Amino acid sequence: MFVSPLREPLINGSKDYHQITDDIARATEGRPTLPWLLGLGLSSTIMLLGFLMIGLTIWYGIGTWNLNRTIGWGWDITNFVWWIGIGHAGTLISAILLLFRQKWRTGVNRAAEAMTIFAVACAGLYPLIHMGRIWLMFYIMPYPNTRGVWPNFDSPLLWDVFAISTYLTVSLLFWYIGLVPDFATLRDRSKAKIRKAIYGTLSFGWKGSSKQWQRFEAISLVLAGLATPLVLSVHSIVSFDFATSVIPGWHTTIFPPYFVSGAIFSGFAMVLTLMIITRKVLHLEDYITKAHIESMNKIIILTGSIVGVAYITELFMAWYSGNIYEQYAFMNRAMGPYAWAYWIMMTANVVSPQLLWFKKLRRSFYFTFFLSIVINIGMWFERFVIIVTSLHRDFLPSSWSYYVPTLAEVGIYVGTLGLFFTLFLLFARTFPVIAIAEVKSILKTAGNQVIEKMHKQEMESENPATVE
Amino acid sequence: MAKKKVLYGVFNDDHVLLDAVRNIRAQGVRIQEVFTPFPIHGIDEAMEHRPTGLHTAGFVFGLVGVSLMFLYMTWINTVNYPLIFGGKPFFSFPAFIPILFEVTVLSAAVGMVVVYFVLNGLSPIRQKPVIDPRSSDDKFIIAFSADELSEEEKHEISNMLHENGATEINEKVL
């Protein structure tokens, strides 16, 4: 098989198949390490504090938040959109890059998909809490009922219910289908009886016969084909929540593509944050390499630039439309009471990703890690700016207001961060963090030993004199 | 379940395995199954597997899901409880599109996954034994059903496996 010597290896350390199994399965075996325990303790404590704040909100009602008649959406919906957006990178890596046959996805897809599922779970909490009377949430389900009313199928908020629940279900299924063969690997290595039984159950009795693999490849491809338009639809529908309203600053047709690229942008930042830590803590440096980081950084430049163009287009359209409300909304964003948030957003999302044009920076783990945090913050501010600055000065100046979150709102946000990291830490300890079977399948085309050999042959054929 | 005897050869490399499958089949010997730690390109052709019908199942599930949802929403909005939302017609098809799309994806995906598990005989409770646990790590296995093989035939198959690069040959009762 010919492998281009120009390709950078995606697996280092001249691994063989057995070593790959060992390296990836090691994280789930043996005693938990101290940093893992500390991390879990910290994140689960934060998670419990968040649950306490959710409890307070449900007990006393939405009055525990600083929302008012003018500002009906605040941190809550900001966080919802932020988390949903983060989820999108996982699906992009697992589905779109599968269709594009990108080999580097094998190193990061498992963890990125896990991130998707946990992020969507965090996101889903917010609309549920925001309902106020969460015990009535079954009202959104369209089943024949004695109340004699149906949900409104023309409402983007109901579309959201369908989009998010479909997204969560399909991502979960896709993830699990990929996990089944790897659970079988863990089962077959297990010595302890209970461990074998647990992984045996999780593996669904996978045997790895050629017929099973044939169906595995077929279903992976079709699920990827289904998940690709799905991931684009989910954030489009989230953007409809805003775009179909008549609020200046929201009522624009640019929203769906702008939200989708923003989502992928922020999602990749979160993948980078997680993977740079994971590769160090779980000693997976040979599998998550500089080449992986660089590939992801390239996607960040692309989507970050699209986001930047979208911001500027919004400004241009506000001016060009001649609509004074639209013009005011954008003047107010950039120079009003929330200007500080707008300029944080502009700096973090438009300026900072452009630094990645420098090869040195986009191949640096430290810089990438720092930048990924900056982008996460920037993208949170994007949603905050879109939601709060568009609302806080509405059509009637007497009802203008300034919004500051309460402790409960901040607590719930921090609490979902705790929930997210708790789930991720549990995942990193019990599941194969890298898709073992998929990495094995690219070893012969992307392992460093293969590429170095090709490189050597190339050099020799160009320079016959050096053969001796 | 009746006990089944298998005779199997263990290989260390996916390319060696693929060639072995081709050679053994070319000599007219029936291979029961091949077990590998990851999917190998070309094994479907070598084993002459029929293409899987999973895609069709997904299409059918998606079609059924979207049709039912379309009828359901139309019935609700036009027959069961017609309500005017924002001055739009009762039957406002464009507003149905997002939900119809999501339901198509959901029913196709869920249906396909169920079919996938059933066809592959995968279940959390009733599980069949694995021939060799190393086949999910770094070994590639060609297995023959040995119930009806005479000693002579077994010997012949073992030789064939050896010639084609098997590193060990075992017999097992499952």
Instruction: Verify whether the Cβ–Cβ distance B109 to A226 is below 8 Å.
Output: yes
Please state, in angstroms and rounded to a whole number, the distance separating the CA atoms of residues A161 and A124. 9
Q: What is the mean pLDDT of chain B?
A: 86
Please state, in angstroms and rounded to a whole number, the distance separating the CA atoms of residues A266 and A382. 10
Confidence of residue A467 (pLDDT cuts 50, 70, 90): very low
Confidence of residue B1 (pLDDT cuts 50, 70, 90): very low
Query: For A25-40, how does the pLDDT look when each residue is reduced to its tens digit (9 = 90+)?
Result: 888 888 888 888 999 9
Q: Which domain holds residue B159?
A: 5-50+130-173
Q: What is the CATH number of the domain that holds A405?
A: 1.20.1630.10
Q: A9 lies in a domain?
A: no
| Facing B105 at nearest CB: one of A170, A205, A218 | A170
Query: For A391-413, how does the pLDDT look when each residue is reduced to its tens digit (9 = 90+)?
Result: 999 888 899 989 999 999 999 99
Q: Is A316 at the interface with chain B, CB within 8 A?
A: no
Nearest chain A CA: its distance from B165 CA (Å): 18
Domain match, B99 and B140 both:
no
Buried b (16+ CB within 10 A) or exposed e, B5-32: ebbbbbbbbbeebbebbeebeeeeeebb
| Facing B37 at nearest CB: one of A205, A230, A440 | A440
Domain match, B25 and B81 both:
no
Q: Is B80 at the interface with chain A, CB within 8 A?
A: yes
Closest Cα in chain B to A169: B106
pLDDT at residue A94, rounded to an integer = 83
Q: A4 lies in a domain?
A: no
Please state, in angstroms and rounded to a whole number, the distance separating the CA atoms of residues A416 and A119. 9
Domain match, B82 and B137 both:
no
Domain match, B64 and B111 both:
yes
Domain match, B78 and B25 both:
no
Q: A137 lies in a domain?
A: yes
Q: Pick the residue with more confidence: A309 or B18? A: A309
CB contact at 8 A, A113 and A174? yes
Instruction: Verify whether the Cβ–Cβ distance A226 to B33 is below 8 Å.
Output: no
Q: A463 lies in a domain?
A: no
Find the mean pLDDT for residues B54-65: 92
Confidence of residue A176 (pLDDT cuts 50, 70, 90): very high
pLDDT at residue A379 greater than cutoff 80: yes
Confidence of residue B21 (pLDDT cuts 50, 70, 90): confident
Q: What is the mean pLDDT of chain A?
A: 89
Please state, in angstroms and rounded to a whole number, the distance separating the CA atoms of residues A232 and B8. 47
Q: Is A218 at the interface with chain B, CB within 8 A?
A: yes
Q: Which residues from chain B sit within 8 angstroms of residue A441, using beta carbons?
A: 38-40
Query: For B99-154, how does the pLDDT look when each residue is reduced to its tens digit (9 = 90+)?
Result: 999 999 999 999 999 999 999 888 888 777 888 888 888 888 888 888 877 888 88
Confidence of residue A166 (pLDDT cuts 50, 70, 90): very high
Q: Which domain holds residue A308?
A: 17-452
B43 CB neighbour count, 10 Å cutoff: 21
When divided into structural domains, chain A yields a total of 1
When divided into structural domains, chain B yields a total of 2
Q: B78 lies in a domain?
A: yes
pLDDT at residue A135, rounded to an integer = 92
Query: For A146-155, how does the pLDDT look when each residue is reduced to its tens digit (9 = 90+)?
Result: 888 888 888 8
pLDDT at residue A1, rounded to an integer = 59
Quote the distance between the C-alpha of residue A184 and its chain's center.
27
Instruction: Verify whether the Cβ–Cβ distance A153 to B120 is below 8 Å.
Output: no
Of A289, A268, A287, nearest to A438 (Cα)?
A287
**Interface subset of A 23-82, CB within 8 angstroms of B:** none
Q: Could you give the ipTM of this predicted complex?
A: 0.91
Domain match, B46 and B58 both:
no
Q: What is the CATH number of the domain that holds B163?
A: 3.30.70
